[in-house]
């Protein structure tokens, strides 16, 4: 194995959602990937021209968005280095126009999906399920978020998004989790489904309540306090429902 190939294999092994491939499979994958650079705000892939390809984000941060019912593009999820989630199957009569684009300068590896599956055929059934989960991503989280948001206040929706971001883009920072990606108020507003000014207002309130803090302009999420806040909110809702049923 050449030094360049060994370096490529080490990079792939460091990507959480494909690190379970064997060294031999990683070596084959490293040789099969077509690597390209995508500048910030550049398009990595679109629903209309994926051409049966799979994409691996080797470095940088990406985002997946779609059109909402008003035709405006809205943010669905942020993507960390690893296999980029494939777009969901098309729904008859509805056009989402899914797109994956670079938030920062990115390096992306592209491979035909059939080739990727061929390289991975030696894995057992459990690992195959993990591969499928890596390719499909966590669209279940998006679905759950949308369904749960219907009964949540803005504060609760914001708290849920902060927990999700800290799970995928956070590193331990004292008693909190520091986000490694710049969390713009506009992006958080799209994820939560609110206006940017309202999100700014609530983030200030969260900071006063010590649910979040700042570290050199980076957001630090106090997960324990945020989870406690959500638990108290749910208890309050349950109490209201209990009183209503008893009356």
pLDDT tens-digit map of 14-44 = 887 888 888 899 999 999 999 999 999 999 9
86/130: higher pLDDT: 86
Between CA 228 and CA 1 the distance in angstroms is 51
Task: Say if residue 136's pLDDT is above 60.
Answer: yes
Query: Are residues 172 and 66 part of one domain?
Result: no
**DSSP alpha helices (H): ranges in the chain?**
3-13, 23-32, 113-119, 125-136, 139-149, 154-169, 185-192, 196-208, 223-246
Query: Are residues 241 and 154 part of one domain?
Result: yes
Task: Say if residue 233's pLDDT is above 50.
Answer: yes
CATH code assigned at 130? 2.60.120.10
* Total number of domains constituting the chain: 2
Q: Predicted confidence band at 237 (pLDDT cuts at 50, 70, 90)?
A: very low
Query: Are residues 8 and 130 part of one domain?
Result: yes
Query: Are residues 106 and 196 part of one domain?
Result: no
pTM to 2 decimals?
Answer: 0.73
Between CA 184 and CA 148 the distance in angstroms is 23
Q: What is the mean pLDDT of residues 78-98?
A: 83
Q: What is the mean pLDDT of residues 108-133?
A: 82
The pLDDT assigned to 175 comes to 79
Residue 52 · residue 114 · CB < 8 Å: yes
Query: Are residues 179 and 204 part of one domain?
Result: yes
Query: Are residues 112 and 191 part of one domain?
Result: no
Highest mean pLDDT among 166-175, 206-215, 225-234: 206-215
Query: Are residues 132 and 20 part of one domain?
Result: yes
Place of tokens 């592209």: 110
Task: Say if residue 240's pLDDT is above 50.
Answer: no
Where is the domain boundary, 88, 115, 137? 137
Q: What is the mean pLDDT of residues 215-243?
A: 73
Where is the domain boundary, 88, 104, 137? 137
The pLDDT assigned to 145 comes to 65
Between CA 169 and CA 174 the distance in angstroms is 16
* DSSP reduced 3-state for 137: coil
Q: For 13, what's the count of Cα atoms within 13 Å in the CB-facing half-sphere?
A: 13
104: tokens are: 């920062």
Task: Say if residue 216's pLDDT is above 90.
Answer: no
Query: Are residues 161 and 242 part of one domain?
Result: yes
């Amino acid at each position: 194995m050449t030094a360049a190939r060994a370096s490529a294999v080490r990079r792939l092994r460091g990507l959480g959602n494909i690190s379970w491939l064997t060294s031999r499979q990683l070596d084959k994958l490293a040789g099969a990937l077509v690597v390209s650079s995508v500048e910030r705000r550049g398009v990595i892939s679109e629903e209309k021209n994926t051409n049966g390809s799979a994409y691996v984000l080797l470095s940088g941060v990406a985002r997946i968005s779609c059109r909402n019912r008003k035709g405006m593009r809205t943010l669905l999820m942020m993507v960390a280095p690893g296999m980029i989630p494939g777009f969901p199957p098309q729904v008859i009569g509805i056009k989402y126009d899914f797109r994956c684009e670079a938030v920062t300068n990115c390096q992306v590896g592209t491979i035909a999906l059939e080739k990727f599956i061929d390289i991975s055929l030696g894995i057992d059934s459990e690992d195959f399920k993990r591969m499928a989960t890596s390719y499909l991503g966590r669209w279940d989280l998006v679905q759950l978020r949308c369904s749960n948001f219907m009964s949540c206040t803005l504060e609760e929706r914001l708290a849920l998004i902060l927990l999700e971001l800290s799970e995928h883009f956070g590193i331990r920072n004292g008693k909190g989790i520091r986000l490694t990606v710049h969390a713009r108020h506009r992006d958080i507003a799209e994820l939560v489904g609110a206006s940017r000014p309202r999100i700014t207002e609530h983030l200030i309130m969260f900071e006063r309540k010590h649910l979040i803090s700042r570290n050199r302009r980076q957001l630090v999420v106090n997960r324990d306090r945020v989870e406690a806040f959500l638990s108290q909110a749910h208890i309050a809702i349950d109490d209201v429902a209990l009183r209503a049923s008893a009356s």
